Structure 1
Amino acid sequence: MTYETLAIERRGAVATIWMDRPAVFNAFNERLIAELAAACAELDADAGVRVVVLAGRGKHFSAGADLNWMRRASDSTEAENLADSRKFAAMLRTLSEMSKPTIARVQGAALGGGTGLTAACDMAIAADDASFATSEVKFGIIPAVISPYVLRAIGPRHALRYFQSAERFGAAEAKAMGLVGEVVTLDELDAAVDRLVQALLACGPQAQLAAKQLIAALAGRPIDDAVAEETAGRIARQRATAEAREGFAAFFDKRSPAWMQ
């Protein structure tokens, strides 16, 4: 597929989706939202892709909503805004529910929807110049569509502050809150992403998907008999897979497993 607002770079089993609107700091509009959804679906269906990195060209990851898009939204009817928001929500869900690991590579501004994209990825690494905000209330609106992902990342207590104050916070604060997992200098950003990519490629892809599904199934549930039984069933099923047999065989044979070859 040909994209106008994105560029997809492939290196072996790793695909990087570059948001490619640097002149407007990779701000969102209808086209970028549609193309991000399509790119995530395309790469998720590609068996040759093991890890997906989401990144932004230029100095900034994403400065949030495009001003022209916001102006059109302010003049639209509620029904038109609902249709628009559903597309944004569907894109974030497609990204969040990809069957392979996703990493946000964040530098510069990651505001509004940029914060949402960071949170929707499985993990995130930020340069120390990165800044984040759920700035929607400054415009008289709310961060509704990104809220499930940001809440999952930072929790309700932090969300109560930043959803209402629209304050910017830096990479160190984002790490302390759980939005990003690692902060490095801008010069070290690509190397840090690559280290994480290599760690992910060393692991079984089907086991990674099962682990992702495990988290989705158990998050927020009480530890009770039902959870204990479900976890026992999940590990029993996973142990019976061809991937698990290969993983154990490779370990005992002191060789790399098939998925690393």
Structure 2
Amino acid sequence: MSTQYSMLQLGFAGHVATVTLDRPEVRNAFNETTIAELTDVFRQLEAREDVRAIVLAANGPAFCAGADLNWMKKMAAFSDEENRIDAGRLAAMLSAIYRASKPVIARVSGDAYAGGVGLVAASDIVVAVEGARFCLSEARLGLIAATIAPYVVRALGERASRRYFTTAEPFDCATAQRLGLVHERVAPDALDDTVQKIAAALCANGPHAVRESKRLVQDVAGEALDEALIDDTARRIARIRASEEGREGVASFLEKRAPNWRG
């Protein structure tokens, strides 16, 4: 993977890829270039069989402040069609993160505002420093959090989303954890260790099983518990049981040895 990025850093350690937002001078706010690079890097990582987990991190004191002000100034002069196309690119970026087959761990080292909350919500597992603050600030600017809404509402729930979308008030990390946006709230010196432990747990499991588990949750969430869903889940487990990885996992357990994907 030889692509060079101007606003991101990309690193690898074992089966874990780390994508780092690298615009600390503007609190990692994103513009059209950041959006294009994030979309590209997640699509490239999707194609790599050796990558089993992705960490989304940021340099500097903030995780992501949302949209870059200069980019927003440019958008103000766009036509309706240009704004629609531009918003579509942001939507595609968020979808690339949310729909990545590999689990995405958000390493939230500082504040996340507006679109930054979208990045957090689109991730699968969120570890945040206890001093981080979150804010869906769009309404302050006469805007709405439309593009990030599908991910944020899934993470916060409808009731909390009604409040924070409309008041645009910031909330602390403890509140974010209570509402379900954040999984682990840690001291700054425990951030990397916690992220690494979660990544190691993911990489210890069957790679195909992890990917299918993520997809299962996304497909099942919110669906009616009817015969079609019951049949679908039965078909999924039957397919996994018969797979090479499924057979190896059961055999290694019975034989009291490590499965071959840990080799």
Shift of 1:229: 1.4
Aligned to 2:198: 196
Distance 1:191 1:213 in 2: 27
Select 1:249's aligned residue among 239, 251, 254. Answer: 251
Q: CA offsets, 1:54-91, max 9 Å, x none?
A: 00001111011111011111222111111110000001
Shift of 1:209: 1.3
Structure 1 runs of 4+ aligned residues shifted over 3 Å read none
Does 2:229 match 1:227?
yes
Aligned to 1:2: 4
Unaligned stretches of 5+ residues in structure 1? none
Q: TM-score, normalised by structure 2?
A: 0.97
Query: Pairwise mapping of residues 85-124 of structure 1 onto structure 2 (< 5 A)?
Result: 85-124=87-126
Percent identity over paired residues: 47
Shift of 1:155: 0.8
Distance 1:20 1:34 in 2: 14
Select 2:66's aligned residue among 52, 64, 68. Answer: 64
Does 2:37 match 1:38?
no
Shift of 1:47: 1.1
Distance 1:35 1:228 in 2: 39
Distance 1:130 1:107 in 2: 7
Question: Given residue 113 of structure 2, which amino acid in structure 1 is its aligned partner?
Answer: L
Stretch of structure 1 that moved more, 209-218 or 101-110: 209-218
Q: TM-score, normalised by structure 1?
A: 0.98
Select 1:238's aligned residue among 233, 237, 240. Answer: 240
Select 1:132's aligned residue among 115, 131, 134. Answer: 134
Q: CA offsets, 1:208-227, max 9 Å, x none?
A: 11111211221111212222
Q: CA offsets, 1:169-197, max 9 Å, x none?
A: 11111111111111001111000101101
Residue 110 of structure 1: SS of its match in structure 2? Answer: strand
Does 2:179 match 1:177?
yes
Select 1:82's aligned residue among 81, 84, 102. Answer: 84
Count residues with an aligned counterpart.
261
Residue 3 of structure 1: SS of its match in structure 2? Answer: coil
Shift of 1:253: 1.5
Q: CA offsets, 1:1-46, max 9 Å, x none?
A: 0100000011111110000001111001010000000010111111
Distance 2:128 2:193 in 1: 12
Distance 2:135 2:262 in 1: 38
Does 2:26 match 1:24?
yes
Aligned to 1:218: 220
Shift of 1:166: 0.5
Residue 134 of structure 2: SS of its match in structure 1? Answer: strand
Question: Given residue 148 of structure 1, which amino acid in structure 2 is its aligned partner?
Answer: P
Distance 1:217 1:74 in 2: 37
